A and B are shown apart, each in its own frame.
Chain A
Amino acid sequence: MTQQSRTPLAAPGPGRRQVVGRLFGLGAAALAAPVLTACGGATAASDPKTVTFGSNGADATPKAAYAAVTEAFTAQSGLKVKTNTVDHDTFQKTITSYLQGTPDDVFTWFAGYRMQYFAKKGLCSPVDDVWEKIGDGFSEATKQLSRGADGTYYFVPLYTYPWAVFYRKSLFRERGYEVPRTWDQFVALAKRMKKDGLFPIASGYGGGDTWSVLGAFDYLNLRANGYDFHTSLMRGQVSFTDRRAARVLDLWRELTPYYQPSGGGRSWQDAAQTLLDKKSGMAVIGLFLGQQITDDAVRADIDFFPFPEVEPSHGQDTVEAPTDGFMLSRRPKNEEGAKKFLEFLGSARAEETYMRADPSNLAANEQAGTGSYNALQKKSAQLIESARHISQFADRDSDPGFVSTVLLPGLTEWLSHPDDGSATLKKIESQRSRFFTA
């Protein structure tokens, strides 16, 4: 250290106490800042010309699609939309505190139990008056999805997409496979594929993708035990040690030898890629699989069949078709504008605008033009139309906390060594009352 570098210490400057005092003032200001901003946030932004919109569509495709929709709304109504986009998973995890803080006027959410839960807790506003204007565009089943347990509307749906068993047409043609309709045919086909050196069923539920196993679980339960039992099971009204629940794992165990190995460490996208590459024969997945496809020739070659029938009495009468849409927060800053925005979002025009930018979904509004639909979308629409019941998805039909902290860990652990499942079901059952008493 040179002498020169020491000089500043000796140089006349602010005294010690002055410096400490200033630091101290800074500290106090830092401590007070959150309080002050919190006060400011509550009163600001009550501009009648602006509607705030909380969106979970952070991926490029939905983000662009929502941007197109909000622009169209601004052009039509003269109201500005301030979009606040949050990563999909983060949005979900923080939803409780988000809705209790200063949420945006309108926010994206899911139909089903998951919507009804917040409606019951009073964290969102009813939108009956919006539905008086948009009601004609929706089917009875969709209307049902948009109502809370009290029969009031809380939700404006935008799009839906079915879950099914996807495959490549050319692969089935080359190998002479036939689309199975019953469970026995399905298992036999899987067996044949394995003999042919394919992974019969693509499997990727690693990392944050554990939810993807729920599609198979839901469908097995729906096919073996029917929609009513599935709903009661997911809402915690039936014991998980019920022999009907045990049957689901028994059926699943017939299929697990044909799952692609090491699924627990693979993402669903990597698993889907093996289907596109014809390394896997089939995949139980949603229409969003389409987002993985970049080559249009491959897109035209993808097809699906409904999950096969297990019990003839239930047939293939239920389709799992999660529906996404919008809700109104409990104390919107610009209620009038927000309702206008919701009306627009429920219109055929908004649907068409959205679908143009994101073609891997189906419009919930029946009046929306389907002319731009590709073959898969058309077939999906038919599948949903023909369904007697529409289920959402396990984590939307049930308490999401129960699904993510009890059901999913239980099922993924079981999948890594599928036994008769009695221990797994007992573990799940032991936690049920903790989630479904209130």
Chain B
Amino acid sequence: MSAASSPSRLGRGDRLFLAAVIGLPLLALLVFVWLPALASIVLSFTTWDGIGLSGIHVTGIDNYRQIFTNYPPFWPAVWHNVLWLLFTALLPTPFGVFLAYQLDRKIRFTRVYQTAIFLPMVLSLAVVGFIWEIIYNPDTGLLNSLLSAAGSAHHIDWLGNPHLNLWAVLVASGWRHTGYIMILYLAGLRSFDPALKEAAALDGAGGRQTFFRIVLPALKPVNIIIVVVTVMESLRAFDIVYVLGGGTGSKPGMELLSLLITDNIIGESGHIGYGSALAVVLLLVSLAAIGTFLVQTFRKEDS
């Protein structure tokens, strides 16, 4: 190996090698991520049916105007995305943390519980969708069978009723999300120095105090990951709704931004420009959410 002995001097070959190793992935990133993103932004100011490049016509901000003022599913979709974020952040995420904290104590069969709770995470969201489809089936589903066995004559259309179906889907997604958060947090807890906890106990801290004053602040990196994961999962929510909605696009009561994008782009007569405009809206929302968060955390760390 002919590497230069002095670390400050790089030979010609080294420089070429470095340029290639950094340049090519950069090129791939540009071509496969940023170029399509830019193309989306450009296309969002046009109308295009997806057939032949000559079919592209520039229409300015018309798509955006349409989306914000005259697209019935748009505002429900935004609201559903927000609801998704709130629900996931307020129920399954804290519950996952709670489970992790309980399982970290030396209780019996902790492995069995861990496996059981983590199991849904092994399944893809699409498969989770199929499982819950069977549970929610109005005639033969588990849920309605239990209800009728309990003497209720009500026939509940879990996935068909536009006022109910989003909640039905949220429960299904929460079922999986809890396990994910639990395993993330459990990993953090395992690396946590037990001496700190002992010290807190010696100082007379109770269980709750120990958790909120000692464990939670000490696990800040894991907390950040959990928040980022939760926000990301909420914004990119798609597959489970797609499956539970029958795989044909958005359904009344279950509109999400991601679904509206595919509604307009994938299909027989695509509205590529219109769908791109929706995608840009989602991109901006995502950037705002993730950006604010990252800036905040890193600024705190720097100071």
Contact = CB atoms under 8 A, between A and B. Distances in A.
A257 B158 CA distance: 19
Given A17-B1, A399-B269, A431-B72, A413 B252 contact: yes
Contacts of A270: 137, 139-140
B248 A265 contact: no
B136 A265 contact: yes
A349 interface: no
A412 interface: yes
Nearest to B160: A264
B151 interface: no
Interface string A10-46: 0000010100110010011001000000000000000
A207 B51 contact: no
B62 to A, nearest CB: 10
A401 B138 contact: no
A405 B263 CA distance: 6
A28 B28 CA distance: 9
A399 B271 CA distance: 12
What does DSSP make chain B's interface, helix, strand, loop or mixed? Answer: loop
Contacts of B249: 404-405
Contacts of B161: 264-265, 416
Interface string A237-280: 00000000000000000000000011111100010000000000
Interface stretch (A52-60, A93-101, A291-299, A300-308): A93-101
Contacts of A89: 247-248
Range class of the A interface residue count: 35 or more
Contacts, number: 135
Contacts of B138: 206, 262, 265-266
Given A24-B24, A261-B157, A262-B156, A206 B246 contact: yes
Interface in B139-155: 139-140, 155
A121 B247 CA distance: 27
Given A24-B21, A405-B263, A207 B270 contact: no
A17 B13 CA distance: 11
A126 to B, nearest CB: 18
A374 to B, nearest CB: 29
Interface string B147-177: 0000000011111111000000000000000
A95 B252 contact: no
Given A266-B160, A405-B264, A409-B251, A207 B269 contact: no
A123 interface: yes
A114 interface: yes
A262 B155 contact: yes
A409 B252 contact: yes
Contact of B162 (A207, A405, A413): A413
B266 interface: yes
B188 interface: no
A418 to B, nearest CB: 13
Contact of A412 (B140, B156, B252, B263): B252
A158 to B, nearest CB: 20
Given A412-B252, A427-B72, A434 B271 contact: yes
A117 interface: yes
- Choose among A265, A266, A412 the residue with the greatest number of B CB atoms under 10 Å from its CB: A265
Interface of A: 15, 17, 20-21, 24, 27-28, 31, 89, 92-97, 100, 114, 117, 121, 123, 205-210, 261-266, 270, 399-402, 404-405, 409, 412-413, 416, 427, 430-431, 434-435, 438
16 contacts: A24-B21, A27-B25, A93-B266, A96-B49, A100-B52, A121-B51, A121-B52, A206-B160, A207-B244, A208-B248, A264-B159, A402-B269, A409-B73, A409-B250, A413-B162, A416-B157
Given A401-B270, A402-B269, A405-B267, 17 more contacts: A20-B21, A21-B17, A92-B268, A96-B51, A100-B51, A208-B246, A210-B251, A262-B138, A264-B157, A265-B138, A266-B138, A405-B264, A409-B73, A412-B251, A412-B252, A416-B160, A434-B66
